[in-house]
Copies of this chain bind each other. A is one copy, B any other.
Amino acid sequence: MSTSPPLPPGGSALDDRSSGRAVRLAARQGQLSTHTSGLAREQVQANLAILPAALAGDFLRFCQRNPKPCPLLAVSEPGQYLLDELGEDLDIRTDVPRYRVWRQGELVAEPTDLRAHWRDDLVTFALGCSFSFEHGLLAAGIPLRHVQQGRNVAMYRTHIATRPAGPFHGPMVVSMRPMKAADAIRAVQITARVPEVHGAPIHLGDPALIGIHDLSRPDYGDAVEVLPDELPVFWACGVTPQSAIATARPEFCITHAPGHMLVTDRLNRQLGLG
């Protein structure tokens, strides 16, 4: 769940080529249990969903059928917790600052370490996150009001149905960023190049056309003003699969805590961003 924006590029101890691993090690050693927003700014961060193998096929099909809200970066084998594909020495049980553990759709724990909860049938899904494309937009000089104001991005349920798979279904959730038209046109071009992190917007202009009736009351995150010379621009959001999981009420699942993302070794600029 991408609830906090990245900071603009700048130097810090955690902001070099090795900083993905540094963030993961800090989380593993209990030295980091906060948001990852602004950390390892050059690295791709990911939404996390961990499901029992019995449900993994359905969820994989749900992601395949809804690639804009659910852009899959990686899927593990059942029980596999070392994900070399995403980062050196990456252990999914320990390397995220905070997790959420759910049973029958109820939140039962928010641990900083999964080793006590791990099962041999668990399949990990890493999904692209808007932190990466926001990095690209900021690098292109497009201002993002929620970043300027230090707020979470505004997110809304729409009346656009996802394509269901097994027990997974529900409305598409979108994030909204207000932009001048010229910036919106550039933002389409920039984000269209990166389907790994939600791709091009799914809507812009009149919110009512996608079932949003009051921009000042987001379903998740914080409202930001849309000025008279701006358009609201809407991207498919990684909250969509989390919402579909909540609706499915699986007997067991694990997600990251909002804003506490999995930091990978992949670089935003490998996606062509920033």
Chain B residues with CB under 8 A of A231: 204-205
User: Roughly how many angstroms separate A206 CA and B231 CA in the complex, as a whole number?
Assistant: 9
Contacts of A206 in B (CB 8 A): 181, 229
Whether A203 and B181, one on each chain, are in contact in the complex, defined by CB atoms closer than 8 angstroms, is yes
Residue contact A229 to B204, C-beta cutoff 8 Å: no
Q: Which residue of B181, B182, B201 contacts A185 across the interface (Cβ within 8 Å)? A: B201
Determine the chain B residues whose CB is within 8 A of the CB of A202 once the complex forms: 182, 185
Residue pair A181, B200 in contact (C-beta under 8 Å): no
In the complex, A54 has a CB within 8 A of chain B = no
Q: In this assembly, does A44 line the interface, its C-beta being within 8 Å of a C-beta of chain B?
A: no
> A217 to B234, alpha carbons, bound, how many Å?
31
A209 with B229: CB separation less than 8 A: yes
Asked if A223 CB lies within 8 Å of chain B CBs, one says no
**CB-based closest 7 A-B pairs:** A188-B188, A189-B192, A181-B203, A205-B231, A181-B204, A181-B205, A185-B200
- Cα A202 to Cα B182 in complex, Å, equals 6
CB contacts (< 8 Å) of A200 on chain B: these are 185-186, 189
Chain A 165-176 near chain B by CB (<8 Å), digits 1 or 0 = 000000000000
A residues engaging B (CB < 8 A)? 181-182, 184-186, 188-189, 192, 200-206, 209, 229, 231
What distance in Å separates the Cβ of A136 from its nearest Cβ neighbour in chain B?
15
Q: Please name all residues of chain B whose beta carbon is closer than 8 Å to the beta carbon of A182 when the two chains form the complex.
A: 202-203
Q: Which residues of B contact A184 (CB under 8 A)?
A: 204
A-B contact pairs, 12 of them (CB 8 A): A181-B203, A181-B206, A182-B202, A184-B204, A185-B188, A185-B200, A185-B203, A188-B188, A188-B189, A189-B189, A189-B200, A204-B205
Bound CA–CA A188/B190 (angstroms): 11
Closest Cβ neighbor of A188 among chain B residues: B188
- A188 contact set on B, CB distance < 8 A: 185, 188-189, 192
- Residues of chain B within 8 A (CB-CB) of A189 are 188-189, 192, 200
Question: Considering only CB atoms, which chain B residue lies closest to A231 in the complex?
Answer: B205
In the docked arrangement, what's the CA distance between A10 and B182, Å? 35
CA–CA, A231 to B203, complex, Å? 11
When the two chains form their complex, are residues B203 and A205 in contact, meaning their CB atoms are under 8 A apart?
Answer: no
Distance, CA A181 to CA B231, complexed state (A): 11
CA A186 to CA B199, docked complex, whole Å: 12
The interface centre, meaning the residue of A185, A189, A209, A231 with most chain B CB atoms within 10 A of its CB, is: A185
A200 to B182, CA, bound (A): 10
Measured CB to CB, the closest approach of chain B to A66, in angstroms, equals 15
